[in-house]
Each structure stands twice: as structure tokens, then as C-alpha cells.
Amino acid sequence: MSIEAGWPQAYGRIVRDSVESTNAEAIRLAPTLTQPTWILSHHQTAARGRSGREWASPKGNFAATLVMKPTGTAGWASLRSFMAANAVFETLALHVRRSRLSLKWPNDVLLDNGKVAGILLESASLGDRIEWLAIGIGVNLSHTPGGVRDAAFPPVAVGEAIDVETFLTELAGFYATEEAILTEFGFTPIREKWLRHAARLGEVITARTQTDEITGRFETVNEAGHLVLSTPHGERRIAAADVYF
């Protein structure tokens, strides 16, 4: 483990050539870790996406998981998906024009309206106490994954050979800033920053939950991180869904 200049203090870093999934690796290592730790792998053989989907993770694309033992409730810990999305946005903005980037609730990053990055949170709790949280982040840097899984948001890539270890150092720095903001000021400024980059804010969008499809005006994301839509039947607050424009 070599730590380079610019790496945020208090965070560990593990780099692997190939693993099944950096989230699986993070969960395996969680009991032994004494500090929040980033696990980067140059290649994943069984990367996982949200809702049990697969995630293509060829060499040249970015795949890493931050594993930590946060204090507070599981709900509070899950707000870190917005912090991760903000940090990925800022990191990508070092490499492409900011105006090409946007954020899609809950935590996708879009480049020219295609999906360039996805975030998968996994956690374990004991009662209301969270034991560990794994924030898995995949970014299509060099390669556009084949096999369009979501026709509304086809995968896109930055299309540049960006060194993944350099990308991790940049990302870890931005993420550490988000943690500092959460500690000092709470979720409000993080939520406000996320909303400044939100795709389709104020427009009519559709949220598909496991049981329901809700179409309404995208009003905001509330302090719990829930999507708020105004519909002809009143305001709906949605905790988990896939969003379509």
C-alpha cells in the first residue's frame, strides 16, 4: 500500500489487480479495518449493481469501495450516497466540462445524459446501530460497457485513459471534504450541492418503485434524502425507486 501526495489523512487505501467485487472485498475486510478504507481493484469479475443487476467492470474503468464504520443510524449513514455522488461529480469535472455532467436521483452520475457512474451502498446494522457501510463506486472511464441494460440511460464512458489510482486520489480528497462538511454543518449543504447539479429538477419525471409508478414534478430531495414529487394526488416522498425522464 503506497500512499501518494494528496491522499487524505485518516483514510486507508488497498489496491488489488482483480477481485470478484470491491464491495464483497470491503465486506470481507470490514471486521479487521481500524480506519475508513478505500479498496480499489483494476478489474472485477463479479461486480454488482443496484437492485441485483450486474455491473461491467473491465480494466481501465474505475472500481472502488469505501468501507467505514459510521456513527449514527442506518438512515443517516445512507445519506452518504449523496456525498459520494457529489465527490464523483467533482472528480469527473477535473476531466470533462462540468456542464456535461449531472446527477440523477438517488446516486447516478450522467455524462451528456448517459450513465457514466453508479454507486451501490451496502451495510449491516445491529438494531439501529450501523456496523459497517460499504460505498461502491464504478465509473466508466475508458470503456463503455456493452449490453444496454437501461435504454433510458445508456452507459457512456469518459473515453480517456485516466489512471484509476490518480482518479482514486482525487475522489478520496473530494469525499473527505464531504465528510468534513457533514460533521460540521450536517446534511443540508450536501443536499443543496447535490440539487445544484440535479438533472430535471422542476420537470416532470417518473419514479418506479417495486410496487408502483409515480409521475410528478421533481420538487426537491428532502432532508431524509427522499425524492419529492408533486402529483395530481398530492406530494409523494419516495425512499427508493428507479427514475425515468
Ligand X SMILES: O=C(O)CCCC[C@@H]1SC[C@@H]2NC(=O)N[C@@H]21
**Residues near ligand X (CB under 6 A):** 21-23, 44, 47-50, 53, 55, 57, 63-65, 108, 118-120, 136-138
CB of 223 to ligand X, least distance (A): 24
Tell me the three cell numbers of residue 113. Answer: 445524459
We find the least distance from the C-beta atom of residue 221 to ligand X, in angstroms, to be 17
**How many CB atoms neighbour CB 4 within 10 A?**
10
Judged by beta carbon, residue 178 or residue 231, the one nearer ligand X is 178
In this complex, which beta carbon is closest to ligand X, that of residue 108 or of residue 179?
108
Nearer to ligand X, 64 or 68 (CB): 64
Minimum distance between the CB of residue 231 and ligand X, rounded to whole angstroms? 26
In the bound state, the residue with its beta carbon closest to ligand X is: 118
The candidate with the shortest Cα–Cα distance to 44, out of 56, 33, 53, is 56
Q: Which is nearer to ligand X, 21 or 221 (CB)?
A: 21
- CB 63 within 8 Å of CB 49: no
Task: Give CA–CA dist 205/7, Å, rounded.
Answer: 39
Q: What are phi and psi of 146, to 5 degrees?
A: -80, 175
| Residue 233 beta carbon to ligand X: minimum distance, rounded to whole angstroms | 29
Lookup: cell for 197: 447539479
Q: Which is nearer to ligand X, 52 or 127 (CB)?
A: 52
- Give the burial string for 14-32 (b: 16+ CB within 10 Å, else e): beeeebebbbbbbbebbee
Report the nearest approach of ligand X to the CB of residue 185 (Å). Answer: 27
Q: What is the dihedral of CA 25, 11, 96, 62, to 10 degrees?
A: -10
55/105 with CB nearer ligand X: 55
Minimal distance in Å, beta carbon 235 to ligand X?
27
The closest alpha carbon to 139, from 163, 105, 123, 122, belongs to: 163
Here the cell at position 221 is 430531495
Q: Whose Cβ is closer to ligand X: residue 144's or residue 230's?
A: 144
Q: Give min distance, CB of 19 to ligand X, in A.
A: 8
The bridge status of strand 242-244 relative to strand 204-208 is antiparallel
